[in-house]
């Protein structure tokens, strides 16, 4: 009986929505990592795991997507449920219906929704108004599903988080913000080398440093990529021109050119360092083909783990009771 009560308390403490990593309790992250690994093994062994039979997931994307959309759609299908794409042009949001009205109505139809948009405030508003779980599929501020999947990959490749150094090089974008939050949660050291004007969100850094201090890790934000990658176990980069930043292309390419992840930079890291990139990649810009396709790259394993982590997120959130009437 005591075990049952503890389990119920732990489940109740889990966040109803997944908006960012910072607001997730550590036990929820640990549970997701265990569940994602278990689901990965079930899939590889051909073991049925229809844990969401009869459930329907909505996908509302204002930004293009490959890995996020396909991993959620395929994952929902593998779990026995159904995924429904909701193109913005085809629903009344595009004609001025409020988020509040849409969220309340869709909560009566769907068991959860993934939203991929620009303004982080949009997913926050959805979470406030919806009774179903709201999952942030990416905003300009954060990409929590990517960071959680990356934790899974790092744990698989390095076997631990404590004592691991993750170096992030280039544009301090939404992925960088979420990696900072994730590293702080699990006690992993993270060092960033980003040019002035392209550094991660300061509020994210300040909040994460409090968490990191509690967990015995550190967050370093600097401008020198060679310092960031020194003795790193994991090297990570992302595109220099994120969606919505296309008009800044020429300036970004000039400013970020010294931050390319190439063979010379890789040599500054530990000999067994792994290379990560959330994709899509632009070979010859933020990373060379030599490094991206080289023996230390784990990008395909990393991309695969999006599927398994997405499935874990869906099982964890969509099997909870709806939070508000």
Does 146 appear as a known binding residue?
yes
State the DSSP H helix or E strand holding residue 282, giving kind and residue range, or none if neither. Answer: none
Does 242 appear as a known binding residue?
yes
Does 143 appear as a known binding residue?
yes
Active site residue 194: no
Active site residue 283: no
Which candidate in 20, 201, 233, 238 is catalytic? Answer: 238
Does 66 appear as a known binding residue?
yes
Look up residue 322 and give its two tokens.
Answer: 């709806």
Does 194 appear as a known binding residue?
no
Active site residue 44: no
132 vs 65, 97, 105, 182, 321, CA distance in Å? 23, 19, 10, 24, 9
Does 116 appear as a known binding residue?
yes
Does 144 appear as a known binding residue?
yes
Which candidate in 69, 189, 252, 306 is catalytic? Answer: 306
Which candidate in 278, 302, 310, 316 is catalytic? Answer: 278
- Strands 112-116, 234-237: pairing is unpaired
- Pair 190, 166: CB distance under 8 Å: yes
Does 174 appear as a known binding residue?
yes
Active site residue 278: yes
Which candidate in 28, 111, 120, 143 is catalytic? Answer: 143
Residue 323 backbone dihedrals phi, psi, to 5 degrees: -80, -25
Does 279 appear as a known binding residue?
yes
Look up residue 237 and give its two tokens.
Answer: 């980069």
Does 65 appear as a known binding residue?
yes
CA angle at 67 for the pair 63 and 72, rounded to the nearest 5°: 90
Does 67 appear as a known binding residue?
yes
Strand order of the β-sheet with 189-193 is 219-222, 189-193, 165-169, 234-237, 274-277
Active site residue 146: yes
Count of CB atoms situated within 10 Å of the CB of 209:
16
**Rounded to an integer, what distance in angstroms lies between the CA atom of residue 143 and that of residue 173?**
9
Active site residue 316: no
Which candidate in 78, 146, 260, 302 is catalytic? Answer: 146
Which candidate in 116, 252, 277, 308 is catalytic? Answer: 116
Active-site residue set: 116, 143, 146, 238, 278, 306
Binding residues for L-ornithine: 174, 238, 242-243
Binding residues for carbamoyl phosphate: 65-68, 92, 116, 143-146, 278-279, 306
Binding residues: 65-68, 92, 116, 143-146, 174, 238, 242-243, 278-279, 306
């Amino acid at each position: 009986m005591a075990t049952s009560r503890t389990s119920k308390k732990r489940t109740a403490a889990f966040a109803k929505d997944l908006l960012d990593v910072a607001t997730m309790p550590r036990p929820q992250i640990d549970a997701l990592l265990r569940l994602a690994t278990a689901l990965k093994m079930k899939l590889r062994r051909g073991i049925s795991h229809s844990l969401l039979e009869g459930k329907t997931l909505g996908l509302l994307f204002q930004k293009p997507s490959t890995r996020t959309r396909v991993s959620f759609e395929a994952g929902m299908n593998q779990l026995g449920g159904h995924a429904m794409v909701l193109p913005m042009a085809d629903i009344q949001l595009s004609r001025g219906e409020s988020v509040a009205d849409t969220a309340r109505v869709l909560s009566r139809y769907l068991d959860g929704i993934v939203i991929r948009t620009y303004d982080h405030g949009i997913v926050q508003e959805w979470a406030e108004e919806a009774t179903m779980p709201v999952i942030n599929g990416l905003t300009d501020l954060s990409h929590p599903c990517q960071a959680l999947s990356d934790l899974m990959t790092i744990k698989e490749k390095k076997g631990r988080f404590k004592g691991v150094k993750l170096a992030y090089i280039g544009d301090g974008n939404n992925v960088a913000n979420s990696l900072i939050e994730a590293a702080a949660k699990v006690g992993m050291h993270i060092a960033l080398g980003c040019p002035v004007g392209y550094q991660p969100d300061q509020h994210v850094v300040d909040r994460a440093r409090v968490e990191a201090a509690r967990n015995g890790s550190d967050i370093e934000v600097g401008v020198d990529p060679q310092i960031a990658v020194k003795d790193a176990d994991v090297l990570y980069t992302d595109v220099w021109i994120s969606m919505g930043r296309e008009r800044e292309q020429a300036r970004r390419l000039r400013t970020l050119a010294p931050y390319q992840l190439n063979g010379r930079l890789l040599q500054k890291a530990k000999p067994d360092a792994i290379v990560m990139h959330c994709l899509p990649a632009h070979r010859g810009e933020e990373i060379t083909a030599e490094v991206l396709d080289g023996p230390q790259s784990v990008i395909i394993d990393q991309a695969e783990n999006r599927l398994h982590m997405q499935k874990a997120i869906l099982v964890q959130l969509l099997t909870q009771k709806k939070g508000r009437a």
